Amino acid sequence: MNNSVASTLRLAWASLRILLVLTVLCGIIYPLVVTGIGQVLFHDKANGSEVKVDGKVVGSELIGQSWNIKGTDKPDPKWFQGRPSHSTYDPMATGSSQLGASDPTLVKNVKAAKKQVAEFNGVPQSEVPEDAVTGSASALDPGISPDYAEIQVKRVAQHNGLSVAQVEKLVKAHAEGRTAGFLGEPAVNVLKLNIAVRELTRK
């Protein structure tokens, strides 16, 4: 065997060993260590920020969901409703409608949605906030603005046999400010709010 062949074989063997070592380190050990740290220090977040009621997972605080009457596409008046979702809150089909602000189709849809939301909640169209008739970029936004929550209070109270004051108190208790005081907008998590409504009706 000449020196050239021997040198090539040595380099190939060295490369193979490096590949095996890096595969074990980066493909097995590192992921296990990071996963372990996540499970120990950030267990809730590492598992999708699941929300449980009576020991059963009912959703994630990071992903919105439909609050329609079971088996229909009609919103259930008992619950606070989230933002419109182009994907009907399907995590596998996330994304916006991709329609521009001046697109005639979007303008038409927004006008129709505004009328529907106003009638559903018994308020003037002038009181319907933007997030009540426009979807988020992900179509999975879990929160709504305090203004949108506020126009739903009377309806939710009426259909759950609660007082307006009781429901308003829940909205205020679940309102979240801007992240770090300046990022994003104030919001109310719809899932958490509806769970609170449900708990109040069971008392």
Report whether 64 contacts 82 (CB < 8 A): yes
Residue 155, burial from CB neighbour count under 10 angstroms (0-12, 13-18, 19+): buried
Looking at residue 52, the DSSP 8-state letter turns out to be E
Q: Please give the torsion angle defined by the CA atoms of residues 172, 113, 121 and 143, in that order, rounded to the nearest 10 degrees.
A: -20
Residue 47 clears pLDDT 80, i.e. is over it: no
Residue 55 clears pLDDT 70, i.e. is over it: yes
Residue 96 clears pLDDT 70, i.e. is over it: yes
Residue 133 clears pLDDT 90, i.e. is over it: yes
Over residues 133-158, mean pLDDT: 94
pLDDT digits (tens, 9 = 90+) for 173-188: 999 988 777 888 899 9
Q: Model confidence at 2, in pLDDT bands (50, 70, 90)?
A: low
At 152 the pLDDT is 98
Higher pLDDT among residues 27 and 41, named by residue: 27
At 138 the pLDDT is 87
The percent of residues above 70 in pLDDT, for the chain, comes to: 99
Residue 1 clears pLDDT 60, i.e. is over it: no
At 190 the pLDDT is 97
Residue 28, burial from CB neighbour count under 10 angstroms (0-12, 13-18, 19+): exposed
Burial of 74-93, coded b for 16+ CB within 10 Å and e otherwise, reads ebbbbbbbbbbbbbebeeee
At 167 the pLDDT is 97
Residue 158 clears pLDDT 90, i.e. is over it: yes
Residue 44 clears pLDDT 90, i.e. is over it: no
Look over the chain and give the mean of its residue pLDDT values, rounded to a whole number. 90
Q: Model confidence at 164, in pLDDT bands (50, 70, 90)?
A: very high
Token digits of residue 106: 């979007």
Give domain limits for the chain: 3-43, 49-201
> Residue 177: which region, alpha, beta or left (left: phi > 0; alpha: psi -120 to 50)?
beta
Residue 76 clears pLDDT 90, i.e. is over it: yes
